[in-house]
């Protein structure tokens, strides 16, 4: 059994135990305190080597380097059971989007005189889904283990503020996990993205700018939803610390 992960805020030092609390936003954050509150995972990797021939699914291949695996195994879940959990969600992604997460190609492009990493073959067509897959796996582990913070969690919708492609990624993963999601998008979001969001049964909220609200209206609406109990499921680190690790795959 591995030692459980811990999160520490890079801005204020607040510690969060993900076996006892949801590690999304720093609980020590205060509006306008001019501190960058981002929870950062601390993992015990003393007995973990970097995989030499990882599984084609990065969330299986690199699992021992990630929060959800450490959380799962520290709470008694076996490694085979964890892999089965990842495979189950991957199969659902293939059913919803026609593809799961796999290694993406690194190609030399002579015209650019550079190596190019092509992420367009990812789930939903961008790298954003990778960020959110790591977050969803952590949520699924909490559910599978019936941890205290997971009780009633399904009754809380996911929420994301996005110009379009991150919302699409979030909606694909939410649909695969059978989890309701609210997406907050601007009026000029691509019509094709909006149509796909509706196909995925995401609840679409178009947020228009008003003179009396400074900043991004989508972010304001997202913040209000989270304050009302929604689970932050975006790709910004201060709002969802779990999104950073998935992108590292």
Residue 225 tokens read as 């939803």
C-alpha to C-alpha distance for 235 and 141, rounded to whole angstroms: 20
User: Cβ neighbours of residue 149 under 8 Å, at least 6 residues apart?
Assistant: 20, 21, 22, 142
Angle value at C-alpha 96, between 193 and 140, nearest 5 degrees:
105
Q: Give the C-alpha distances (Å, rounded to integers) separating 26 from 38, 40, 67.
A: 6, 10, 16
- CA atoms in the 13 A half-sphere facing the CB of 155: 5
Which pLDDT score is estimated for 236? Answer: 86
Q: What is the pLDDT of residues 222-236, one digit of tens each?
A: 999 999 999 999 998
Q: What is the pLDDT of residues 89-117, one digit of tens each?
A: 999 999 999 999 998 999 999 999 999 99
- Low-confidence residues in the chain, pLDDT < 70: 1-2
């Amino acid at each position: 059994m591995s030692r459980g992960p811990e999160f520490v805020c890079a801005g204020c030092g607040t510690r969060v135990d993900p076996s006892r609390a949801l590690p999304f936003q720093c609980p020590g954050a205060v509006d306008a305190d001019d501190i960058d509150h981002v929870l950062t995972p601390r993992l015990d990797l003393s007995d973990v080597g970097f995989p030499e021939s990882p599984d084609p699914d990065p969330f299986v291949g690199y699992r021992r380097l990630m929060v959800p695996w450490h959380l799962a195994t520290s709470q008694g879940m076996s490694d085979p059971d964890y892999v089965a959990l990842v495979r189950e969600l991957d199969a659902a992604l293939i059913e919803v989007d026609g593809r799961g997460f796999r290694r993406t190609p690194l190609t030399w492009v002579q015209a650019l005189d550079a190596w190019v990493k092509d992420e367009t073959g990812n789930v939903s067509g961008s790298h954003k889904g990778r960020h959110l897959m790591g977050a969803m796996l952590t949520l699924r582990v909490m559910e599978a283990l019936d941890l205290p913070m997971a009780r009633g969690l399904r009754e809380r919708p996911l929420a994301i503020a996005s110009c379009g492609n991150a919302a699409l990624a979030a909606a694909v993963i939410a649909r695969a996990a059978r989890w309701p999601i609210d997406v907050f998008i601007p009026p000029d979001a691509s019509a094709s993205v909006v149509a796909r969001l509706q196909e995925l049964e995401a609840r679409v909220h178009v947020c228009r700018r008003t003179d009396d609200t400074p900043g991004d209206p989508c972010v304001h609406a997202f913040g209000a939803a989270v304050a009302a109990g929604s689970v932050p499921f975006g790709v910004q680190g201060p709002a969802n610390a779990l999104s950073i690790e998935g992108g590292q795959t």
